[in-house]
């Protein structure tokens, strides 16, 4: 997969796609790197050359877990930190684009599971960035590593703790340079789930980007979304999150697991020169809401008669 046309002009000659792939692979396997966090993690953590999504928005995560870099002259924002073992790859990808991890001023998160928040503590240490999260997620990030209201509690490892995290309000807009990033609480997958919206521009054309948190009703064995005592508002929370997706201005949808939004198929179309750009799809958020709503309906149906 060629990334040449998605890189900033100043880096095109220096970082061909093959070099990025080798660099990321070496970074991910360097001595002292954390061991794999789970059986699926080596697949999630496959090296992925970084690329420009649109304007100042870049994909810098591994192939199976999204991490995004939003850039400005005054500093950058990183959304999600993937796995602990993803950190060397994320840092290498940022540097290969011509940016510096040390210039990341803010790190935010979709939800605090080890596959999206596992790398945040180390990325915060390397960058010195502020970490900001929803109240539930901030508590997990700074105190417990895993939350008791989490449907997957008991089946997932904790994340490494960060020394401090700013607590967000629903609908709050954060600013770094000319980046304006708005938090939308979208609970259900976890009680602290957060989706993000912002605008990125190319020339005179600005588009609305949405980074959607996971919307799947996945749980540890024995958890019931229907009547959980630990998370009694889970179903209502999911419905609130689906409503956000249906109503949000959404030109480009990105998701915490890229496969959930068909990112690689759309990117392949872009690489083939398909027009209009397949990454731009104003109906993508509504379509994700429809798929997620059906998944929840099937899950609740399966819980009937199984106390």
Number of domains in the chain: 1
Q: Are 146 and 111 in contact (CB under 8 A)?
A: no
pLDDT of 118 above 90: yes
Please report the pLDDT score of residue 39 as a whole number: 86
Contact status, residue 78 vs residue 69, Cβ threshold 8 Å: yes
**For 28-46, what is the mean pLDDT?**
72
Residue 64 lies in a domain: yes
Task: Using the predicted structure, report yes or no on whether residue 303 has a pLDDT greater than 70.
Answer: yes
Cis peptide before 276 (omega within 30 of 0): yes
Burial 220-252 (b: 16+ CB within 10 A, else e): eeebbbeebeebeebbebbebbbebbeebebbb
137 inside domain: yes
Question: What percentage of residues in the chain have a pLDDT greater than 70?
Answer: 88
Residues contacting 225, CB < 8 A, separation 6+: 151, 217, 219, 231, 234, 235, 238, 296, 299, 300, 303
In a domain, 76, yes or no: yes
Residue 184 has pLDDT above 60, yes or no: yes
Per-residue confidence band for 178, with pLDDT thresholds at 50, 70 and 90: very high
Task: Look at residue 182 in the predicted model and tell me its pLDDT.
Answer: 98
Q: pLDDT tens digits, residue range 281-293?
A: 999 999 999 999 9
* Residue 180 domain flag: yes
pLDDT of 6 above 90: no
Mean pLDDT of the chain: 90
Q: What percent of the chain has pLDDT over 90?
A: 85
Q: What CATH number is attached to the domain comprising 135?
A: 3.60.15.10
Residue 19 has pLDDT above 50, yes or no: no
> Where do we find the tokens 């979304």?
225
146 lies in a domain? yes
CA–CA gap between residue 48 and residue 301 (Å, rounded): 38
Helix axis angle, 120-127 to 87-96, nearest 10°: 40
- Note whether residue 281 is domain-resident: yes
Token pair for residue 26?
Answer: 């070496």
Three-state DSSP class for 16? coil
Mean pLDDT computed over 263-278: 97
- Give the model's pLDDT for residue 34: 55
| In the chain, alpha helices (H) | 17-28, 41-44, 87-96, 120-127, 135-139, 234-247, 263-271, 284-303
Look at residue 154 and tell me whether its pLDDT is greater than 70: yes
Q: What is the mean pLDDT of residues 84-113?
A: 98
| Measured distance CA(212)–CA(193) in Å, rounded | 9
Task: List b or e across 159-179, with b for residues whose CB sees 16 or more CB atoms inside 10 angstroms.
Answer: bbebeebeebeeeeebebeeb
Q: Please, what is the Cα angle at 159 between 162 and 234, to 5 degrees?
A: 110
The verdict on residue 36 lying in a domain is no
Mean pLDDT confidence for 146-150:
94
Q: Using the 8-state DSSP alphabet, how is residue 192 labeled?
A: T
* Residue 286: inside a domain: yes
Beta-carbon contacts of 31 under 8 Å, excluding residues fewer than 6 positions away, are none
Is-contact 178 120, C-beta < 8 A?
Answer: no
Give 193-242 pLDDT, tens digit per residue.
999 999 999 999 999 999 999 999 999 999 999 999 999 999 999 999 99
- The gap from C-alpha 194 to its chain's centroid, in whole angstroms, comes to 10
CA distances from 268 to 2, 88, 96, 220 (A): 10, 26, 21, 35
**CA-based torsion, 78, 81, 86, 88: positive or negative:** positive
pLDDT category at 128 given cuts 50, 70, 90 is very high
Range of the domain at 135: 4-31+41-303
């Amino acid at each position: 997969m060629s990334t040449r046309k998605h890189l900033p002009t100043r880096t095109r000659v220096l970082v061909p796609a093959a070099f990025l792939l080798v660099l990321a692979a070496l970074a991910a396997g360097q001595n002292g790197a954390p061991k794999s966090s789970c059986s699926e993690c080596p697949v999630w953590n496959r090296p992925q050359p970084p690329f420009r999504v649109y304007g100042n928005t870049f994909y810098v995560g591994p192939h199976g877990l999204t991490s995004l870099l939003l850039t400005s002259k005054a500093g950058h924002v990183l959304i999600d930190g993937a796995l602990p073992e993803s950190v060397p790859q994320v840092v290498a990808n940022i540097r290969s684009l011509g940016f510096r991890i040390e210039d990341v001023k803010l790190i935010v998160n979709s939800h605090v599971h080890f596959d999206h928040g596992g790398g945040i503590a180390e990325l915060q240490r390397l960058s010195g960035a502020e970490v900001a999260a929803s109240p539930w997620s901030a508590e997990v990030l700074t105190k417990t590593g895993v939350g008791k209201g989490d449907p997957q509690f008991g089946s997932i490892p904790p994340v490494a703790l960060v020394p401090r995290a700013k607590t967000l309000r629903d609908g709050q807009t954060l600013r770094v340079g000319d980046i304006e990033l708005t938090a939308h609480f979208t609970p259900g997958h976890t009680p602290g789930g957060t989706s993000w919206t912002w605008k990125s521009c190319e020339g005179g054309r600005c588009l609305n980007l949405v980074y959607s948190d996971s919307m799947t009703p996945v749980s540890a064995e024995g958890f019931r979304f229907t009547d959980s005592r630990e998370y009694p508002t889970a179903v209502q929370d999911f419905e609130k999150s689906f409503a956000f997706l249906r109503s949000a201005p959404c030109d480009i949808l990105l998701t915490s697991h890229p496969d959930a939004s068909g990112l690689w198929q759309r990117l392949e179309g872009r690489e083939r020169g398909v027009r209009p750009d397949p990454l731009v799809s104003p109906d993508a958020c509504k379509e994700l809401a429809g798929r997620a709503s059906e998944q929840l309906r099937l899950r609740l149906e399966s819980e009937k008669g199984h106390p």
